[in-house]
Each structure stands twice: as C-alpha cells, then as structure tokens.
Amino acid sequence: MKIRRMGIVAIALASTGALVLSGCAGESTTSADGTAIITTNGSEPQMSLIPTNTTEVGGGKIITSIFAGLVSYSADGEIQNEVAESIESDDATTWTVTLNDGWTFTNDEPVTASSFVDAWNYGALSTNAQGSSYFFDNIVGYSDVSNMIDDPTGATDEDGNVLRVASPLAETMSGLTVVDDTTFTVELAGTEADWPLRLGYTAYSPLPEVAFEDMDAFGQNPIGNGPYELASENAWEHEVQIELVTNPDYAGVRTPANDGLTIIFYASFDAAYAAVQGGDLDVLDAIPESALASYESDFPDTFINEPAAVFQAFNMPYYLEHWSGDEGKLRRAAVSMAIDRAEITDVVFQNTRTPATDFTSPVIDGYSDSLAGSEVLEFNPEEAVALWAEADAISPYTGTFDIAYNADGPHQVWVDAVVNSVKNTLGIDAVGKPYPTFGAALEDRDAQALTGATRAGWQADYPSLYNFLAPLYQTGAGSNYEGYSSEAFDTLLKEGAAASSVEEATAKYVEAQEVLLQDLPTIPLWYQNTSGVWSDTVSNVEFGWDSVPLYHAITKN
C-alpha cells in the first residue's frame, strides 16, 4: 500500500518531554493608503456569521478573514501561532494554552482565555444547535452538553400529565478550565498528539462578550479580532456582497498588504470570469467550464492550476427506495463503476481535476492511492451492469436516476457528463436536477427531500485525513446530511483520533476508508485542483493549501 508518511508540523517533542507549540505573533507591516480594496468572488453565506455555525465555503471565507484563532495556516498548511503564545502538553491529553497578551476585538474588548472557552462551550451546547458542534466532541464533558434529558417543568396538561422539557446535562464542558486571563487548559477524552493541528479551523475562534447578549444579531454584524472587520453595520448586503476593511489593531501573522476586501456574490462563475476579464474583479478562485479550454491563453501570466485539498463526489440518500441494505450496496458500486472518471477529467475539466482513489486529497499527508477495494472507483462497465442486474433481482429499479446540483456553481457540465455515463452504461434514465442556489439545494438535503443523488464535496478545514472523514461520515456529524452510520467506521475513526503516534493514526484512517469503499455512502469522483485567475490590477496573488487565496498578501497595482 502506497501511503505518504503523515507529518505534524510545529508539534515537537521538547527536551523536557512535553509536546509544545510555541512562538510569537508576526510583526505588523505598513498598510496601504486606504484605497487599495481587493475584490474577489464569493457566495451568500448559508447561515449568519457565527464561527461555530458556519460550515460552508461562502461563510467560511468571511469568518477566516474577520476572526483570528489560536493558530492559522501558512500557504503550505503548516500551523503558525496567532493568538496563542504556546500550546503545551506532557501527555497529549491535557493541554495548556497560553495567549499572547494585548489582543483585542474590534470593539476594543480584550481577547482573553474566557473568549475562547465561552465560545467553545456555546458551540458545543446542544440547545444552540451549532453546525460545528462535533468539533468539540473530543473534549471531556462534551457528552454532558450535547446530550439532552427530559426534565419536569412543574406544570401539567389538561389530562394531568406532567409536562417535561428537554435540556442538557450541563451548560459547560468540564474539560475546559480558565486559569487566568491569558491561560486555559483543555482536557481531552483521550490521547491526541495532533490536536493543535485542528485549531486553525473557524469553529475554534474566540467570541467577545457582546456576542452572547444577542447571538442572532451578532451573526449579522460580527465583531472579530482578525485581519479584517466589517466596513460598516450594513457591510453585508445579502445576496450581493460583503465589504471588509483592514483591522488596524490586528496583531497576528496575516497583516494585510491592502486596505480591504470586497467579496461579491456572483450568480454564476461565467459572470465572475467576465468581470475579471473586464478588470471589474481582481481575483477569481474558480474557473467556469466555459473557460477551461481558454483560461491559460486569456490570463497567460495570472492563472493557477495546482493540486488542492478539495474532494468532489455525489451522495445517495439512504432514505430513498433501492439505496439501502444489500440492494443499495450493489447499486452504489454499480453506479460508481459506470462512471468514466478519466475521460470526464480529461475532456470536461481539461485536466484541472484528478480521478479519485480515496476519500481525502493527494496534498494531505497520509493520502493513499491503493486502498483495498478501490477498484470500485475504476470504470468497469461490464461489472457495473452485472451488479445492477444483481440488485434488480432483489427489487427491480424504476424511475429516473438524478443528481441534484446548485446552478450558481460550475457543476452543470460535469453532472451532465456523469449522468450520461451512468445512462449509457446501465441503460437507465439519468438526468441532472438543478437548484438555483447552493442554499436551496442544501435545504432539501437538510429536509431529506431529495429525489435522487446530490452533488457533494469537501474543502478541508484543516490539513488532516481526519477532517475529510469525521465531519462527513461519522454517525450524527454536522455535514453527514444523508445519514450514513457505520459502527465499524466510527470505531476506527475514534481509534485513529486517540492513537499515540501519527503512524498508528494513519493506519486506522486507512482502514476506515476501506469501510467506506464497501458501503459507498458517497461516490468519490475526483480531486479538484486549485484553479483560478486574476487581473493585472493586483500582484502577489498566492493560493493556500485549501485552494483559498491568501487575501491578506495581495497588493493592488
């Protein structure tokens, strides 16, 4: 099995025997003259801008810009300190976090240990229903704040029955302890040597005290501590754009070399591409299908096409007839083997994608291109037909196979190619099912109202195999919209997270993926490259390991 060794950068074994992550915040650089606003594309956030409830790219791009967590990530995915001065542990189970002094939110409120502990407790508490709550499931006490019990209210109904209300066992996680204004400790449920690696994800951002007065209102006009802040109370113009300006008090390693960032919510990538060509948009972090054959000649000196931590697939809901149990396993494998991934990535995507061999990404340490069972991801029309017939013997398939997708993203061409491949191979009716926006498509996924498959994918939150697996396939995870549940997978995932060595963890994650290859809760398609273009109006454009531009580094010409 070909597996790259998984290296955890900046977590070192100190001479005292303690695991340490330490360093100083970066020095500030001179800002521009107040007129150098960078424009880029984005999408209307699905939720209000609360770090623990933002799980999609549109909102995440904004949250990352206006908040600074304990650490952030460099262009190549290495962790670098932001608010944290050090993150230390003697046993990789109990961690002591020490903050750099002097950090403030943009309302001048100090960033303290409580700013993190209170935010994490809010994110984990079940009654707050935060989409990223599972990111705290390894902290002692999480089960007490996430599990609900029925308590009597003291009142009765008209029949004399005691009325009860669901409430959590606790309001805060016992594993989080504030020591003083700049120090807090985190007790994990088990050993996790690479725990600091995840702390650059937005769910671990701090929150000011004012947020807890009215979280809904805060989410519409958030107050952060990052390199940018909202330009005004009305900076977020829904369905249009959001305007950010630099935070003069930011003290981290992402000091902006520009004066602000305007993220425009284009209705289509074609419109955004035309805007870059016309000089009305500075940076576009995707290329529409219509420009895949021409973007290199359109932007000969200002384009990128490199591997990124982005995985693309489509999911089949288990609640649909024919797609669960033994019949469902056969049909999932048949559909997967009916897709000619190599031809689609070559012809449709002009080699800006790479056929998938696992559920992660080639740029993540620990990636494998030879998992046991990965032949199910290879184009094999004869076997696909045979498996489909075997499923029909259990229950004959009727109706049309469809794949839902959001039409405001660059998906129609590849969806058409995939359904045509399935249709031609299996001899069934297959079509694409467009939704006008990403939000509209996600609403039907949330409501379990899909009529067929749905476009799916993952852009990594932090550079780890675990991040590609737990949020999507762990039982009850926030982004496990189609309801996959496997005791074998969950067990391997937990064993990997609790491993005492990186090598042991990687081996468990490999085994977990081999379970996924048997069940196919998602049909892996390809890895998306970082592909984008930018205008000659800007310089110093660099894209990070997660395919998002490093906006703070961009300068206006």
Query: What is residue 501's predicted lDDT score, i.e. its pLDDT?
Result: 74
Residue 424's contacts (CB-CB under 8 Å, 6 or more residues apart) are none
Q: Do 137 and 474 form a contact (C-beta atoms < 8 A)?
A: no
> Do 427 and 522 lie in a common domain?
yes
Q: Do the Cβ atoms of 225 and 206 come closer than 8 Å?
A: yes
Containing structural domain, residue 425? 307-530
User: What percent of the chain has a predicted confidence (pLDDT) above 70?
Assistant: 90
In percent, how much of the chain has pLDDT > 90? 68
Task: Decide if pLDDT at 1 tops 60.
Answer: no
Are 106 and 229 spatial neighbours (Cβ–Cβ below 8 Å)?
yes
Any idea what the CATH number is for the domain that residue 19 is in? Answer: 3.40.190.10
- DSSP secondary structure letters along 105-153: -TTSPBP-HHHHHHHHHHHH-GGG--TTGGGGTTBTTHHHHHSEEEEEE
Tell me whether residue 466 is in a domain. Answer: yes
Answer for the pair 132, 155: CB distance below 8 angstroms, yes or no: no
Q: Rounded to an integer, what distance in angstroms lies between the CA atom of residue 448 and that of residue 432?
A: 18
Q: Does one domain contain both 231 and 342?
A: no
Q: Which has more confidence, 86 or 162?
A: 86
pLDDT in tens, 216-260: 999 999 999 999 999 999 999 999 999 999 999 999 999 999 999
State whether 99 and 199 are in the same domain. yes
Whether 159 is covered by a domain: the verdict is: no
CA of residue 429 relative to chain centroid, distance: 33
- Asked whether residue 253 falls in the same domain as residue 384, the answer is no
Residue 160 has pLDDT above 70, yes or no: no
Query: Is 354 a member of any domain?
Result: yes
pLDDT tens readout for residues 371-426: 999 999 999 999 999 999 999 999 999 889 999 999 887 789 899 999 999 999 99
Q: Report whether pLDDT(12) > 60.
A: no
Find the mean pLDDT for residues 6-25: 38
Give the contacts of 387 (CB within 8 A, at least 6 positions apart): 330, 331, 333, 334, 337
Strands, E assignment, 278-400: 283-284, 303-315, 353-355
Question: Is the overall model pTM greater than 0.85, yes or no?
Answer: no
Judged on CB neighbours under 10 Å (0-12, 13-18, 19+), 478 is buried
Question: Among the three residues 234, 265, 296, which one is the final residue of a domain in this structure?
Answer: 265
Confidence of residue 266 (pLDDT cuts 50, 70, 90): very high
Reported as half-sphere exposure (CB side, CA atoms, 13 A), residue 381 has a value of: 8
Tell whether 105 and 217 lie within a shared domain: yes
Query: Is residue 542 assigned to a domain?
Result: no
CA–CA distance, 505 with 488 (Å, rounded to integer): 16
Is residue 498 located within the same domain as residue 421? yes
pLDDT score recorded for residue 19: 44
Task: Please report whether residue 281 resides in a domain.
Answer: no
Q: Is the pLDDT of residue 210 over 90?
A: yes
Burial readout 194-217 (b: 16 or more C-beta within 10 A, e: otherwise): bbbbbbbbbbbbbbbeebeeebee
Give the CATH number, domain containing residue 523: 3.10.105.10
Contacts of 201 (CB under 8 A, 6+ apart): 69, 132, 135, 461, 462, 467
Whether residue 61 is contained in a domain is answered as yes
The per-residue pLDDT for 16 is 33
Instruction: Tell me how crowded residue 248 is: count the other CB atoms within 10 A of its CB.
Output: 9
Q: Are residues 314 and 258 in the same domain?
A: no
Dihedral in degrees, nearest 10, Cα atoms 327, 333, 336, 337:
-120
Q: End-to-end CA distance of the chain: give it in Å, rounded.
A: 49
Residue pair 344/532 in contact by the 8 Å Cβ criterion = no
537 within a domain of the structure (yes/no): no
356 and 425 share one domain? yes
pLDDT for the residue numbered 499: 80
Instruction: At 113, list the tokens.
Output: 């240990």
CA angle 55/58/62 to nearest 5° reads: 95
Could you tell me which residues come within 8 angstroms of residue 464 by beta carbon, excluding any fewer than 6 positions away?
A: 194, 197, 198, 364
What span, in angstroms and rounded, lies between the C-alpha atoms of 298 and 40? 18
Query: Tokens 């069934």 label which residue?
Result: 428
**Is the domain of 250 the same as that of 338?**
no
pLDDT for 202: 94
Q: List, for residues 434-476, the tens digit of each pLDDT value.
A: 998 888 888 888 889 999 999 998 888 888 899 899 989 999 8
Q: Is the pLDDT of residue 164 over 80?
A: no
Distance (Å, whole) CA 205 – CA 72: 11
Q: Which helix (H) or strand (E) segment is 539 a member of?
A: strand 538-539
Average pLDDT of the residues of the chain: 89
The 10s digit of each residue's pLDDT in 330-354 is 999 999 999 999 999 999 888 889 9
- Both 233 and 313 in one domain: the answer is no
Neighbours of 300 (CB within 10 A): 8
What is the pLDDT confidence band of residue 510, given thresholds at 50, 70 and 90?
Answer: very high
Domain count of the chain?
2
Question: Are 256 and 363 in the same domain?
Answer: no
Same domain, residue pair 332 and 470 = yes
**Burial group, residue 451, by CB count within 10 angstroms (0-12, 13-18, 19+):** middle
Grouping H, G, I as helix, E, B as strand and the rest as coil, residue 440 is: helix
Domain assignment present for residue 156? The answer is no
Q: Are residues 407 and 440 in contact, defined by beta-carbon separation less than 8 angstroms? A: no
Instruction: Measure the CA–CA gap between 469 and 52, rounded to whole angstroms.
Output: 19
